[in-house]
Chains A and B, each alone.
Chain A
Amino acid sequence: MSRVKSFFTQIRRYPSAVVGMVIIFLLLAVSIITPILIPYSEAVRLWRGGEEIWAEYPRNAWPVWYNWFSSTDLPNTIVFNSGQGDGVQSRESLSADTTELHFTFEFDFPYDEFPPELILFAKANYEVKQPFLEMTWFTPDGREIRIGEFSPGASSSFRFSQDSRLQRRLERETGIDGVSAEQGLFDDPAQEGLQPLNGTYRLEISALLFEEDSNVDVTFVSYGLVHGLAGTDHRRRDLMLALLWGTPIAMAFGLLAALGTTVTTMSIAAIGVWFGGWLDALIQRMTEVNAIIPLLPILIMVGTFYSRSIWLMLGLVVLLSIFGLSIKNYRAIFLQVRELPYIDAARSYGASNMRIIFRYMIPRLLPLIIPQIVTLVPTFVFIEASLAVLGLGDPILPTWGKIIQDANSQGALFNGFYYWILEPAVLLMLAGLGFAMVGFALDRIFNPRLREL
């Protein structure tokens, strides 16, 4: 206990290490909480489930905090779902078969930009005759605009911008050629050019049902330009999920790979030094061959030909790093350790070879190893990200690298969707810096020779 305490008093002298520890702690906390809050199967469903799961999210929306820094207020997504009792609904029986449903959605629009999309989703159930929907738009300044009408099927949608009659009507209304439905409906006619009019808008939908058991549920979505704390990608998925789930994956990959490679490499170096002779020579030659085998290309090859599973990649990384070049460093130190008197003492009381290697030689190197492991973690976190950026990320799990790859292949930097790259990049950076800063400080604590420098 006192050793742990003295360790913490020592590390407190390095402010960067304290910052690093906080970062690592936060990342680990996220790694533990995320799988509990969003179980694996749920995460996979949310990330790969299909269009209907993210249909109500906007496409390529900035995170909401963008509004805090920007002078223009970007619109949020506004959703009215009659199935969940949003808006005002009324029902009127016109005849034995015919019923009229009436939906009124009223919302406030205080934003400085037009929404990118307006869609009305309708789910109707009927036997023969489809219901009939009619939509009317009321602007804050009291104008009334007929939007159009359509007959919904079991699951259909009405995209405002794809209705050419509505567009022509809006062109007449605003006097601007080529105006889109979204712009036309929210435009302030009192101002020159296109400027959204702020105030309370109302969408009225009347649905005629021609059968006794027929019913219709409508969902109106006015898509925003900002969404959630992380924004969305080109397929409307909420990036938050991938950012959260990327954390445990990155941590697990980095920690396991760093631990695995260091422990195996050190053991092999110790065994080689202890037994010496041809075994040592063989290990040396293997190390040289291994230095020629390029790690990333091999991973790429395996990823392309066999499997992209992240755990296979992890196994390969460890396997290919067993004979890493650090064997040479460990070997140099073990050669000195071997000659120390306490090893002779162990031998004289008859300790077995394995006991000497694993109980006497390796523990001697632990102070050197711990900073090494911590500093290695980011390397592997970035290897995972690198593979994902090349399109060889795990096929199922969302990871930080896969977000960057999606963003890169969609030209996020070129098109100005900076948040899309910055969010995973900042997380990668935090993970990298956190471990590296702690590793550096540990190095200085455990290797006093460096401390004065």
Chain B
Amino acid sequence: MTRLLRYTALRLAALFFTVVVGVYITVLIANMGGYVDEIRRGQIRETIVLTASANEEFRKLPEAERNAIIEERVAIQEQRYGLDQPFVIRSFRYLSNALTLNLGFAEGLTSDSGSRLVKNIILERLPSTLVLFGTANLLLFFVSLFLGLSLSRRYGSFFDKLVLALAPTSAAPGWFYGLFLILIFAGLLHLLPFGGMVSAPPPDNPIDYALSLLKHMILPVTATLVSAIFLTIYNWRTFFLIYASEDYVEMAKAKGLPDGMIERRYVLRPTLPNIITSFALLLITLWTGAIILETVFNWPGIGQLYFKAIGIYDTPVILANTVVYAYLLAITVFLLDFVYALVDPRVRVGEGSQGR
């Protein structure tokens, strides 16, 4: 147990370091050549000129004096935002702000509760994203694991060949299948909603709310599943087949152990770490695909927030969202690392690289 704790703590520290570096790179890219600072400066000047010229007294002043006042106010404001410091120092300040999601106010977007704090906007939308992708990914994991196992038992059968033939369909991302699903089930058959998370107005009764949520989730979850499931099943089935031809499996068969037990103890158990690694890789690609899936399905998560923020050039929101994605990826990697440590007795603490 202590071994596990130490491993976890070490991995957590390593990952945190990774996140810091990752976010720093993000900040550098976002502010490539001080571009964002320029936008900021322009905005500061514009707001100050606007507020000043709304003032009657101010307009009566001679021009030189007016300019002097504006310059002075701009300087104060720029100092407040730290724009007068050299970029290296500023970049570290941005880093710490970004890591704590302390990114100030959105330029155009507001949260549903009316807050303009970037943090609030994002935190409000995070649960919807987590609900959708948590469900989709868990379903994907267990369904493909189960089907992969059962296909490895019957390889060469019709279903096996079908999955093999369908595996190339995973070349397309979820949102792509989403378009077709919307066309069929919402456009032609009118069975399911075109998009959104709950029907409008949202039902008051929690049970109705949950049902409405479920109804809206069917299409996006199906789209995610369709886009990944055949390839995943195919990969895992191949995996199980390779491991099922190991000598110790033959040995177990020779001993006359029941099939179920052979599968659980001799095939599934040793392949589990590999399966988890491959699932982690899959999750990372799915997370990125989520941005567009949410946009296509009008799902009020952080992916759709991206879409909205791009539309109105809301810099802080875009930056914060990127950071949140970095966090989500890190958490995904960490959780899977943790599970990996649980299932793989070979994990030795202090070794950076994983089992391989």
Which A residues lie at the B interface, using CB under 8 A? 16, 20, 281, 284-285, 288-298, 300-306, 325, 328, 332, 375, 378-379, 382, 385-386, 389-392, 404, 408, 413-414, 416, 418, 421-422, 425, 428-429, 432-433, 435-437, 439-440, 449-450, 453
Contact with A along B312-356 (1 / 0, CB 8 A): 010100110110011001100100000000000000000011001
A-B contact pairs, 19 of them (CB 8 A): A16-B165, A288-B14, A289-B21, A289-B22, A292-B22, A293-B25, A298-B26, A300-B310, A301-B30, A302-B29, A382-B176, A385-B176, A390-B306, A408-B179, A413-B179, A418-B183, A428-B176, A436-B167, A453-B238
Q: A298-B26, A306-B32 are in contact. Are A425 and B180 (CB under 8 A)?
A: yes
Complex Cα distance, B166 from A16, in Å, reads 10
Let me know if B4 is at the binding interface, CB within 8 A: no
Contact with A along B194-237 (1 / 0, CB 8 A): 10000000000000000000000000000000000000000000
Complex Cα distance, B306 from A293, in Å, reads 16
Contact B171 A436 (CB under 8 A): yes
Q: A302-B29, A386-B292, A391-B307 are in contact. Are A404 and B330 (CB under 8 A)?
A: no
Contact A292 B176 (CB under 8 A): no
Complex Cα distance, B176 from A282, in Å, reads 37
Q: A408-B296, A436-B168 are in contact. Are A297 and B322 (CB under 8 A)?
A: yes
Let me know if B266 is at the binding interface, CB within 8 A: no
Let me know if B115 is at the binding interface, CB within 8 A: no
Specify which of A16, A289, A390 is in contact with B291 (CB 8 Å cutoff): A390
Interface centre among A281, A291, A306, A392 (most CB of B within 10 A): A291
Contact residues of A: prevailing secondary structure: helix
Specify which of A304, A332, A414 is in contact with B356 (CB 8 Å cutoff): A332
Closest approach, in angstroms, between the C-beta of A193 and any C-beta of chain B?
26
Contact A414 B194 (CB under 8 A): yes
Specify which of A288, A297, A303, A392 is in contact with B288 (CB 8 Å cutoff): A297
Q: A16-B165, A294-B287, A436-B171 are in contact. Are A301 and B333 (CB under 8 A)?
A: no
Which B residues lie at the A interface, using CB under 8 A? 14, 18-19, 21-22, 25-26, 29-30, 32, 35-36, 155, 165, 167-173, 175-176, 179-180, 182-183, 186-187, 194, 238, 241-242, 281, 284, 287-289, 291-292, 295-296, 306-307, 310-311, 313, 315, 318-319, 321-322, 325-326, 329-330, 333, 352-353, 356
Residues of chain A within 8 A of B36, CB atoms compared:
305
Which 9 pairs of residues, A with B, have the shortest CB-CB distance?
A436-B168, A432-B171, A378-B171, A292-B22, A436-B171, A294-B325, A296-B288, A297-B322, A289-B21
Residues of chain A within 8 A of B333, CB atoms compared:
291-292
Complex Cα distance, B138 from A348, in Å, reads 53
A436's nearest neighbour on chain B, judged by CB, is B168
Contact B241 A453 (CB under 8 A): yes
Complex Cα distance, B281 from A437, in Å, reads 21
Complex Cα distance, B41 from A1, in Å, reads 64
Q: A295-B288, A418-B187, A453-B155 are in contact. Are A436 and B25 (CB under 8 A)?
A: no
Residues of chain B within 8 A of A294, CB atoms compared:
287-288, 322, 325-326, 329
Contact B318 A436 (CB under 8 A): no
Contact A293 B326 (CB under 8 A): yes
Contact B165 A297 (CB under 8 A): no
Closest approach, in angstroms, between the C-beta of B54 and any C-beta of chain A?
30
Contact A386 B194 (CB under 8 A): no
Specify which of B172, B238, B319 is in contact with A301 (CB 8 Å cutoff): B319
Known: A300-B291, A418-B187. 15 other contacts (CB 8 A): A20-B168, A284-B353, A289-B25, A292-B326, A294-B329, A296-B289, A297-B288, A298-B26, A300-B310, A301-B319, A382-B173, A391-B307, A432-B169, A436-B168, A436-B170
Q: A418-B183, A418-B187 are in contact. Are A379 and B32 (CB under 8 A)?
A: no
Complex Cα distance, B1 from A341, in Å, reads 43
Q: A294-B287, A413-B187, A432-B171 are in contact. Are A389 and B296 (CB under 8 A)?
A: yes
Q: A297-B321, A413-B179, A416-B187 are in contact. Are A428 and B172 (CB under 8 A)?
A: yes
Q: A293-B326, A325-B281, A414-B194 are in contact. Are A390 and B168 (CB under 8 A)?
A: no
Complex Cα distance, B322 from A338, in Å, reads 39
Residues of chain B within 8 A of A290, CB atoms compared:
22
Complex Cα distance, B329 from A291, in Å, reads 8
Complex Cα distance, B356 from A328, in Å, reads 9
Residues of chain A within 8 A of B167, CB atoms compared:
436, 440
Interface centre among A298, A301, A379 (most CB of B within 10 A): A301
A284's nearest neighbour on chain B, judged by CB, is B353
Residues of chain B within 8 A of A436, CB atoms compared:
167-171
Contact B18 A300 (CB under 8 A): no
Residues of chain B within 8 A of A391, CB atoms compared:
307, 310-311
Complex Cα distance, B310 from A392, in Å, reads 9
Specify which of A16, A305, A425, A453 is in contact with B179 (CB 8 Å cutoff): A425
Closest approach, in angstroms, between the C-beta of B183 and any C-beta of chain A?
6
Closest approach, in angstroms, between the C-beta of B127 and any C-beta of chain A?
19
Residues of chain A within 8 A of B325, CB atoms compared:
294, 297
Residues of chain B within 8 A of A408, CB atoms compared:
179, 296
Complex Cα distance, B323 from A301, in Å, reads 11
Residues of chain B within 8 A of A433, CB atoms compared:
168-169, 171
Closest approach, in angstroms, between the C-beta of A432 and any C-beta of chain B?
4
Q: A305-B36, A425-B180 are in contact. Are A437 and B168 (CB under 8 A)?
A: yes
Closest approach, in angstroms, between the C-beta of B189 and any C-beta of chain A?
13
Q: A292-B18, A418-B183, A432-B171 are in contact. Are A305 and B30 (CB under 8 A)?
A: yes
